[in-house]
Protein backbone atom coordinates (compact mmCIF):
# COMPACT_ATOMS: atom_id res chain seq x y z
CA UNK A 1 0.00 0.00 0.00
CA UNK A 2 1.32 3.46 -0.91
CA UNK A 3 0.54 6.22 1.60
CA UNK A 4 0.80 9.96 1.09
CA UNK A 5 1.40 11.91 4.31
CA UNK A 6 0.61 15.61 4.37
CA UNK A 7 1.62 18.22 6.94
CA UNK A 8 -0.59 21.12 5.77
CA UNK A 9 0.45 24.74 5.68
CA UNK A 10 0.17 27.75 3.40
CA UNK A 11 3.84 28.74 3.49
CA UNK A 12 5.12 25.19 3.46
CA UNK A 13 3.19 21.95 3.10
CA UNK A 14 5.15 18.81 3.90
CA UNK A 15 4.74 15.82 1.60
CA UNK A 16 5.93 12.31 2.42
CA UNK A 17 5.27 9.05 0.62
CA UNK A 18 5.94 5.57 1.94
CA UNK A 19 5.15 2.09 0.71
CA UNK A 20 3.93 -0.21 3.44
CA UNK A 21 4.29 -3.97 3.22
CA UNK A 22 3.42 -5.95 6.29
CA UNK A 23 4.31 -3.67 9.18
CA UNK A 24 7.31 -2.13 7.43
CA UNK A 25 7.43 1.27 5.75
CA UNK A 26 9.80 2.03 2.88
CA UNK A 27 10.69 5.60 1.92
CA UNK A 28 9.53 6.59 -1.57
CA UNK A 29 9.63 10.39 -1.67
CA UNK A 30 9.57 13.52 0.46
CA UNK A 31 9.49 17.22 -0.30
CA UNK A 32 7.68 20.42 0.56
CA UNK A 33 5.34 22.63 -1.37
CA UNK A 34 6.57 26.16 -0.72
CA UNK A 35 4.61 29.27 -1.57
CA UNK A 36 6.27 32.70 -1.77
CA UNK A 37 5.25 35.18 0.94
CA UNK A 38 4.91 37.96 -1.61
CA UNK A 39 2.12 36.13 -3.48
CA UNK A 40 -1.53 36.76 -2.69
CA UNK A 41 -3.02 34.22 -0.31
CA UNK A 42 -5.40 32.84 -2.97
CA UNK A 43 -2.48 32.28 -5.34
CA UNK A 44 -0.64 30.44 -2.57
CA UNK A 45 -3.63 28.15 -2.02
CA UNK A 46 -3.79 27.44 -5.76
CA UNK A 47 -0.10 26.51 -5.72
CA UNK A 48 -0.71 24.03 -2.89
CA UNK A 49 -3.57 22.46 -4.84
CA UNK A 50 -1.72 22.33 -8.14
CA UNK A 51 1.49 20.86 -6.73
CA UNK A 52 -0.43 18.34 -4.61
CA UNK A 53 -2.33 17.23 -7.73
CA UNK A 54 1.00 16.70 -9.50
CA UNK A 55 2.35 14.58 -6.63
CA UNK A 56 -0.82 12.47 -6.57
CA UNK A 57 -0.74 11.97 -10.35
CA UNK A 58 2.92 10.99 -10.30
CA UNK A 59 2.98 8.66 -7.26
CA UNK A 60 -0.62 7.36 -7.28
CA UNK A 61 -1.10 6.82 -3.52
CA UNK A 62 -3.65 4.27 -2.35
CA UNK A 63 -4.54 6.43 0.64
CA UNK A 64 -3.47 9.60 2.38
CA UNK A 65 -3.06 10.82 5.93
CA UNK A 66 -3.44 14.48 6.85
CA UNK A 67 -2.51 16.07 10.14
CA UNK A 68 -5.34 17.84 11.91
CA UNK A 69 -4.95 21.46 12.83
CA UNK A 70 -3.60 21.92 16.31
CA UNK A 71 -4.60 24.83 18.50
CA UNK A 72 -2.57 27.96 17.85
CA UNK A 73 -2.35 31.14 19.89
CA UNK A 74 -2.27 33.14 16.66
CA UNK A 75 -5.83 33.00 15.30
CA UNK A 76 -4.89 34.59 11.98
CA UNK A 77 -2.22 31.94 11.31
CA UNK A 78 -4.51 29.14 12.47
CA UNK A 79 -7.23 30.29 10.09
CA UNK A 80 -4.84 30.41 7.14
CA UNK A 81 -3.42 26.97 7.94
CA UNK A 82 -7.00 25.72 8.27
CA UNK A 83 -7.83 27.07 4.82
CA UNK A 84 -4.74 25.39 3.34
CA UNK A 85 -5.78 22.18 5.06
CA UNK A 86 -9.23 22.53 3.47
CA UNK A 87 -7.60 22.85 0.04
CA UNK A 88 -5.61 19.67 0.76
CA UNK A 89 -8.74 17.72 1.78
CA UNK A 90 -10.69 19.01 -1.22
CA UNK A 91 -7.86 18.04 -3.59
CA UNK A 92 -7.71 14.52 -2.13
CA UNK A 93 -11.47 14.21 -2.51
CA UNK A 94 -11.40 15.51 -6.10
CA UNK A 95 -8.68 13.01 -7.00
CA UNK A 96 -10.50 10.13 -5.27
CA UNK A 97 -7.76 9.50 -2.71
CA UNK A 98 -9.26 8.20 0.55
CA UNK A 99 -7.73 9.77 3.64
CA UNK A 100 -7.51 9.58 7.40
CA UNK A 101 -6.97 12.54 9.69
CA UNK A 102 -4.50 12.35 12.55
CA UNK A 103 -3.87 14.52 15.56
CA UNK A 104 -0.27 15.55 16.28
CA UNK A 105 -0.39 13.36 19.42
CA UNK A 106 -1.46 10.32 17.38
CA UNK A 107 1.52 10.83 15.09
CA UNK A 108 3.93 11.22 18.01
CA UNK A 109 2.48 8.15 19.77
CA UNK A 110 2.61 6.07 16.59
CA UNK A 111 6.20 6.98 15.69
CA UNK A 112 7.95 7.56 19.01
CA UNK A 113 5.67 5.56 21.32
CA UNK A 114 4.80 8.63 23.37
CA UNK A 115 2.28 11.37 22.60
CA UNK A 116 4.51 13.94 24.29
CA UNK A 117 7.55 13.25 22.12
CA UNK A 118 9.28 16.34 20.82
CA UNK A 119 9.88 17.18 17.16
CA UNK A 120 13.49 15.97 17.23
CA UNK A 121 12.54 12.58 18.71
CA UNK A 122 9.89 12.06 16.03
CA UNK A 123 12.32 13.02 13.25
CA UNK A 124 15.02 10.69 14.58
CA UNK A 125 12.51 7.82 14.69
CA UNK A 126 11.39 8.60 11.12
CA UNK A 127 14.99 8.29 9.93
CA UNK A 128 15.53 5.11 11.94
CA UNK A 129 12.29 3.39 10.90
CA UNK A 130 12.77 4.26 7.23
CA UNK A 131 16.48 3.29 7.41
CA UNK A 132 17.57 6.71 6.16
CA UNK A 133 21.13 7.93 6.67
CA UNK A 134 19.94 11.28 7.97
CA UNK A 135 16.80 13.05 9.12
CA UNK A 136 14.76 14.18 6.10
CA UNK A 137 14.84 17.94 5.54
CA UNK A 138 13.08 20.27 5.84
CA UNK A 139 11.22 19.48 9.06
CA UNK A 140 7.82 19.62 7.35
CA UNK A 141 8.84 16.77 5.03
CA UNK A 142 10.03 14.63 7.96
CA UNK A 143 6.72 15.32 9.71
CA UNK A 144 4.83 14.30 6.57
CA UNK A 145 6.72 10.98 6.45
CA UNK A 146 5.74 10.34 10.09
CA UNK A 147 2.12 11.16 9.22
CA UNK A 148 2.28 8.74 6.26
CA UNK A 149 3.66 5.89 8.38
CA UNK A 150 1.09 6.26 11.15
CA UNK A 151 -1.69 6.89 8.63
CA UNK A 152 -0.77 3.71 6.81
CA UNK A 153 -1.17 1.67 9.97
CA UNK A 154 -4.52 3.27 10.73
CA UNK A 155 -5.74 2.72 7.16
CA UNK A 156 -4.68 -0.93 7.29
CA UNK A 157 -6.18 -1.59 10.70
CA UNK A 158 -9.19 0.70 11.07
CA UNK A 159 -10.73 0.82 14.51
CA UNK A 160 -7.53 -0.23 16.27
| 62 noted as active-site residue | no
115 φ, ψ (degrees, to nearest 5)? -65, -15
From 38, 54, 67, 124, active-site residue? 67
Rg (CA), the chain: 15
Which SS3 state, helix, strand or coil, does residue 74 take? Answer: coil
| 67 noted as active-site residue | yes
Burial of 57 (0-12, 13-18, 19+ CB in 10 A): exposed
Strand ranges for the chain from DSSP E: 2-7, 12-21, 24-34, 63-67, 99-102
Q: What is the DSSP letter of 62?
A: S
Cα 13 vs. chain centroid, distance in angstroms? 8
| 140 noted as active-site residue | yes
Q: What is the DSSP letter of 11?
A: S
Annotated active-site positions, please? Answer: 7, 67, 140
Amino acid sequence: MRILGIDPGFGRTGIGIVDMTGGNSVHVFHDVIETPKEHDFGVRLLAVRDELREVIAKFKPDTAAVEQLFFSNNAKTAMKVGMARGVVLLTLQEMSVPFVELTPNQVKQGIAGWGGADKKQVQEMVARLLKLKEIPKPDDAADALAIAMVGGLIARFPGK
